[in-house]
Amino acid sequence: MSMFNPRKPEGNGFALNSISDSDRNGVGSYAPSSQSVSIKAKAGGSNSIIDEWLTMKGDLESEGDILVKGKVYGNVKCKLLIIDGEAIIEGGIIAEEVVVRGKTKGVIHANKVRLEKTAIVDSEICHQTFSAEEGARIKGALRFKEDPLAEPVKLSETKAA
């Protein structure tokens, strides 16, 4: 199932593993704290969305696809990552495929990387296949690798400070 499938998946597709009951402020709301949160998608959940109003500090990991419309300050690991036009990711990225329409800062390891015309990238990109539309801005390095996902990558070393 791809991120663009019109069928709504069962459940919400992710679990908040590190938010305890003491972190909650009332029913259905979350009180912001200075601690980072790590979100891991459940097996079977295929799509996750970080909405434009959300700022995430911590790592995201999913066996499915992630669409980022907001801000992520941490590492992201998934199958397909789409960074929308107004979105920002500061941290390492490991994915089979990455589509950048917004801003990234950090190391990207992906089999396929596509920068669209609105992309602003300050990253080292380790890729097998790379494409960029006219207008995309790149500051960093492009490194072709036969299998960019095979090398062990320590995401904590690529995390934004």
Q: Quick one: pLDDT at residue 18?
A: 32
Domain ranges of the chain: 21-149
Is residue 150 exposed (0-12), middle (13-18) or buried (19+ Cβ within 10 Å)? exposed
Query: Identity (one letter) of the amino acid at 19?
Result: I
Q: Taking the model in full, what pTM does it have? A: 0.69
Residues 6+ apart with CB under 8 A from 149: 94, 96, 109, 110, 111
Tens digit of pLDDT per residue, the chain (161 long)? Answer: 444 444 444 443 433 333 333 333 333 333 333 334 444 544 455 789 999 999 999 999 999 999 999 999 999 999 999 999 999 999 999 999 999 999 999 999 999 999 999 999 999 999 999 999 999 999 999 999 999 998 655 665 544 44
